[in-house]
Structure 1
Amino acid sequence: MLVSALVLVAALGIGTAGIFFTFEDRIRSVLGWEGPIDYEGEGTGEVVVTITSGQVGGDIATLLAEQDVVMTYKAFYSLLLQNPEVTFQPGNYALRTQMSARAALDALQNPANRVELSIGFNEGLSIDQVLESLSDSSGIPLTELEAAAADPTVYGVGAEAPSLEGYLFPARYTLDPSVDAASILQTLVDRTFESLDAAGVAPEDRHRILTIAALIQREAGSNPDDFYKVSRVIQNRLETGMPLQMDSTAHYGYAWRYGERLDQSVFSTQAELDDDNAYNTYQIQGLPLGPIGAAGDLAIDAAVNPADGNWLFFVTVNLDTGETAFTATGEEHNAAVRRLQAWCEETKSPNCA
């Protein structure tokens, strides 16, 4: 066929040759010289194709041809015309290059070929731990996430927040794999605002509630009822003018001030207790500067709806079961502390170190 075409071009002359090559596809079709328009088989290599909301069959056919997934627009679009019931879901799809139109269509209809980014982390983590987790799961360098997190206000967080600490909601997220660091952080902040809105928290009260919720998340253990009791202890102490004196804030404040890893022990060191920083509730009156970790829905609800009670103290007396004693007097509290000390002595638990 190529030889015949060249002979014809030579016979027609140079000027006509230009016309031929301009309209080659149409001339080949009219003369019956049309070459193949479709690849055969399942293809080779790998390519990620992104289908966006609003794209129709013609758009997708063009996209596939441009990325050499299919040989031609015509091959794929003609197949769609034969299958009018076919629909496409927006997303990223792992396909191959040089696939037959049928193989490409089948691949786009198979949910297993969708490419998604799954990220998530648990309640109670500090922002340093959260950013490390996000970097590990997304592949985005930690330095990029840290740089993106530097200014909380760009995400709609109030100026009173010293950082995004507590504003990145702990949950599992499925995202487009092309997202950047700022997009991920915005998604997590927006999810926090959704939770606060659902709990009836006014925008001007977000920082205070998140600060209380983070304390509850760190202090309450695994018993849901204890979340609401811890919230009551916080409220009672704030109302009576007592310092909160929570070891979680002593740990956090010391790590925050000196750039150290967060201590997870139930007991604070004397250095932590004595350090005069804006988070250490053994040294300051009222709430710390801001949240000390990521609080979930339960902690936020507890911060808004504390249980009824006159408790001023609490201590976990069994670190394995999470059993916690809530008391109203110093004498009762000291007795509960002795129970914890006895448990630590008996079990030699590393959490008591």
Structure 2
Amino acid sequence: MSNLLEPEQKKRPGEPRDWNETARHLKSALAVIVSLAVLVGGGLFAYNKIGGAVAGAFVAEDYPGPGEADVEVDIPQGSTLDEIGSILVDADVIQSTRAFNEAVRETPNANSLQAGTYTLKTKMPAREALQAMLDAGIKGGKRFLIREGLRLSEQVAELSKQTGIPEEAYNEALKNPDAYGLPVMAKGNPEGFLFPDTYEMAGNDPNNALKQMTANFTRKANEIQLEARAAELNRDPMEIVVVASIIEAEVRRPEDRAKVARVIYNRLEGKPPMKLQMDTTVEYAVNKPRGTGATTSDAERANPSPYNTYVHEGLPPGPIAAPGKAALEAAANPEEGSWKYFVAINLDTGETAFADTFDQHQANVRKFQQWCQQNPGKC
């Protein structure tokens, strides 16, 4: 027999209960229950403390209002709601973009917010700022559309017609480029830098319109990386805008824009360089009215204006019209090719023929002349 005791003695049937052992089990169970209670209670306490801190961290920072000093805020054309929130934060109208985003989610018509210039207050609650902008856009807003290819004088006439602000007021405002944010590359000349688009403004200050248009130009220039592309082409950014303005005036079909850009650069970079000889630059030089013919006269082409590319080599000193984004993109990204000439051979469709040599070009010119003979009054 083994002289070792069994590790656990089992109670035989009928044997009396060992109350000391039972008490020990009860005390152990009670200790476990108490430990759990302390643990759960402490956890709840910690959860409440931590949860409160976490919730506080996610509460959007927002000004209590009602607002302090008046401030004008410009919302560029094409701005997203996220971008608008950032603009309002930068102007200290609202405290955080998170508060603005919450206001947007809770406002059913937030997506109807328009680009424009708004008079708000600093340190406004985000919901009140958003509603003030929506109200301004609904009450008394002036919507205007400026199409591509207009000269500055034509843009001013359209602005006056559509906003009810006299042309004289716009022309006076244009004399102060800093007031409406004319890009530095413009060198003080707003021609070509009032971006064509649809806008909405409030009030009767012409700068409210001009600021939106120059801001939109800067936005589009950044989108196409105009300055970087200009450097790659060994051109000044202003030269890209000038080329784009010629493209806007010369080209009707989208597929021809980058080809015309290449013709211009090939002429400028030829050995020796060639004069551009663009009729549209002559029309600008002599301020020829629209719709008075597709060609220019010998007398017009002899005009000494620096914008006349029949007389002067190189590009004109500035844009001849306001280019849209597609023309800017084409000027910044010319198509590869050896063309040095182009001519529209169908003014109804805008069909354009390109040529490498003068003889090829002359053959295309005869096609244009033939079209003009078949369509009297259109050339």
- The alignment's TM-score, normalised by the length of structure 1, stands at 0.65
Whole-angstrom CA distance in 1 between matches of 2:305 and 2:134:
57
Deviations 1:34-88 (CA, angstroms, capped at 9, x unpaired): xxxxxxxxxxxxxxxxxxxx998989xxxxxxxxxxxxxxxxxxxxxxxxx8889
Partner of 1:170: 196
Closer, same or farther: CA 237–294 of 1 in aligned 2, 3 Å: same
Structure 1 residue 272 corresponds to structure 2 residue 303: no
Change (3 A) 1:300 1:110: closer
RMSD over aligned Cα atoms? 3.0
Tell whether 2:240 aligns with 1:215.
Answer: no
Equivalent of 2:211 in 149, 170, 186: 186
CA contact (8 A) 2:243 2:331 kept: yes
Q: How much does 1:220 deviate?
A: 1.1
| Letter in structure 1 aligned against 2:347 | L
CA distance in 2, matches of 1:311, 1:200: 25
SS at match of 1:119: strand
State the Cα deviation string for residues 239-286 of structure 1 (Å, max 9, x = none): 10111100000110112xxxx645652201112100111100001111
- Partner letter of residue 200 of structure 2? T
Computing the radius of gyration from Cα coordinates, the structure with the larger value is 2
Q: Where does structure 1 differ by over 4 angstroms across 4 or more consecutive aligned residues?
A: 54-59, 85-92, 108-114
Which residue number in structure 2 is paired with residue 146 of structure 1? 171
Q: Secondary structure at the match of 2:306?
A: coil
Q: Given the two structures, how large is their TM-score scaled by the length of structure 2?
A: 0.60
| Cα distance in 2 between the residues matched to 1:250 and 1:119 | 29
Q: Is the 8 A contact 2:246 2:280 kept in 1?
A: yes
Aligned residues: 252
Closer, same or farther: CA 140–303 of 1 in aligned 2, 3 Å? same
Whole-Å Cα distance in 2 between the matches of residues 158 and 245 of structure 1?
A: 28
Q: Distance in 2 between matches of 1:245 and 1:112?
A: 46
Please, which of 201, 204, 212 is the counterpart of residue 226 of structure 2? 201
Report which stretch shifted further, 288-297 or 110-119: 110-119
Is 1:346 the counterpart of 2:346 in the alignment? no
Contact 1:196 1:206 in 2 (8 A): no
**How far apart are residue 160 of structure 1 and its match?**
5.8
Unaligned runs of 5+ in 1: 1-53, 60-84, 93-107
1:224 aligns with 2:282: no
Could you tell me the percent identity over the aligned residues?
33
> Is residue 162–residue 290 contact of structure 1 (8 Å, CA) maintained in 2?
no
Structure 2 stretches lacking a partner, 5+ long: 1-61, 68-105, 117-132, 231-235
1:252 equivalenced with 2:280 (yes/no): no
Going from structure 1 to structure 2, the CA distance change for 1:160 and 1:226 (only over 3 Å counts) comes to same
Correspondence for 1:320: 348
Q: Does 1:333 align with 2:361?
A: yes
| Distance in structure 1 (CA, Å) of the matches to 2:137 and 2:148 | 30
In 2, the alpha carbon distance for the partners of 1:292 and 1:109 equals 37
Does the C-alpha gap of structure 1 residues 86 and 134 become closer, same or farther in structure 2, counting only changes over 3 Å?
A: closer
Q: Distance in 1 between matches of 2:249 and 2:107?
A: 50
Paired residue type of 1:170: P
Q: CA deviation at 1:159?
A: 7.1
In 1, the alpha carbon distance for the partners of 2:207 and 2:137 equals 28
- What residue identity is the alignment partner of 1:144? A
Is structure 2 residue 316 aligned with structure 1 residue 288?
yes
Q: Write the deviation string for residues 282-332 of structure 1: whole angstroms up to 9, x where unpaired.
A: 011110010000100100000010011110000000001111000111011
| 1:310 has 2:335 as partner | no
- Rounded to whole Å, the distance in 1 between the matches of 2:134 and 2:312 is 60
One-letter amino acid of the counterpart of residue 236, structure 1? N
Counterpart-to-counterpart distance in 1, 2:237 and 2:178? 14
Distance 1:326 1:198, change over 3 A: same
Please list the CA deviations of residues 177-210 of structure 1 after superposition, one character each: whole Å capped at 9, or x if unmatched: 2151112111101111111111112299431111
One-letter code aligned to 2:246: L
Paired amino acid for 1:245: Q
Distance 1:304 1:201 in 2: 6
Deviation at 1:161?
Answer: 3.7
Deviation of the 1:121 alpha carbon: 1.4
Query: 1:237 Cα deviation (Å)?
Result: 0.5
Contact map agreement 1:117 1:138 (CA 8 A) in 2: yes
Name the CA distance, whole Å, in 1 between partners of 2:370 and 2:362.
12
